Chains A and B, each alone.
Chain A
């Protein structure tokens, strides 16, 4: 059993794994031993025991999420959706899994659908991922031709039809209820909760939405057991995680490592430390909507609770590195421009507040800020940063790098305002 289950078919192999290679390496064994042979409730208990937590960013326990799906009654559809809308800035992990080993996701979806008695599945994938879209479709066709997808899978009573839905854009589609509206052909505006999708999701039917990496893990938990999965993690949480680093590090990349790997080990050993001539100033641990951490936090283990205790979130686990040649105010202005553009526009604090924040940041970065502007930013970060003041988590997520940036890089804001200019000369 590999200690890198998610990337064992990817590491050291140049091509992408087709059905023949996937099966020769043990693929679909979990489906063959489970479908029609194991009680779905037993699979659910296994997932709960493994304590797999959602890899899309929120870290919600997957087994618990699934347990909210009501018992199957009647013949109405029940849906499983893979959230493959990877659009969190600085995140580049699901693309790797889908391009290089598409059957791993499909096997995880078959097992997950079996567990929650879903008969139809969608892979909701962003439109720019052309290679992944083609390989997933090819893999679905091959699996269907081999009786692994479609009606009466492996001659059992279980049927599961899987479709690829190619999105037409917008970051907000990654929010699971906005994603469901988009799948229904509507504007991607998040829905009010409750009701939760598990009860009333896609077209009003029970629906589970999980991140690609989460679903890929299901295959290996079913194949190798909960104890094996738990033993992979170094701390409280089990399993491995795809961690990454981008920015001015020596070797930017994405690596499958034990959950709980210290940040220092990821940055120094795997990313090779900072690029020559650059120093670490701070970093976002898991995408644009996570709080800044600083070199003081390098010994924090990368798992959900420990990163939370350090004042941030592990998020997607792909770190964005701020170096000493780059302007913290400029970086935060870039982030808030993104969040302002990607607001769905439904609720006022987000639609109006984020452009206001962006305008103030641009003013400070251009050397036209005033000290009172910092108070405006702080007030906004508290007001639209509070869950409950906005319709969904978009604006609160947007305020995480701003509030933490004001805390850790306050001197840079003041230098911009007092010096009436950005002190950083971009190296061109």
Chain B
């Protein structure tokens, strides 16, 4: 795992919306485990500071009234994020961040209300899909155990879109049993094809519903698999 000095650390912009509430946890995880201080970027900004990558944290941006991530997708800063990504910039969207990425069309598909119509908080197992992105290569055949906490995490994409996702190797994480077999029984929210996270065609934009920043210490739920995901995020642009 990487560990940086203040001078050598990568510059990661943390996109902060009113209602974002996992920003502090992301900061804490990157600082404690990697020595990286994230650079806060407020939603009203029209440009990004000099950054190597951006991180969109979880929460309830603008209250998530209307539809999760829908208002955030039209905030001033997302224009800058879009142009950053279009030039090959790396981005990681966690939970609400994933919702904002799909609402901004930086990732395909949409996130709908959980099938149970209830908020769900629990640990899930994830199987890593096959593809050429650094996420799929670096995390390989591992089974990851990460917590979820969302009310609108049911990934949806139409049949054609799903086929394309698979063809292009964009399915990164699928809800699975402890042995890593993706199946409906392990799917907490009714997501299409048990999808928990996807990457963009170029493999540089990652969106996932589970929270890697919450599984970075054995004391907190017994899993450190989140560290591997965050570490891979760093590899995606370094």
Partners in one complex: no
**Which chain B residues have a beta carbon within 8 Å of chain A's beta carbons?**
none
**Which chain A residues have a beta carbon within 8 Å of chain B's beta carbons?**
none
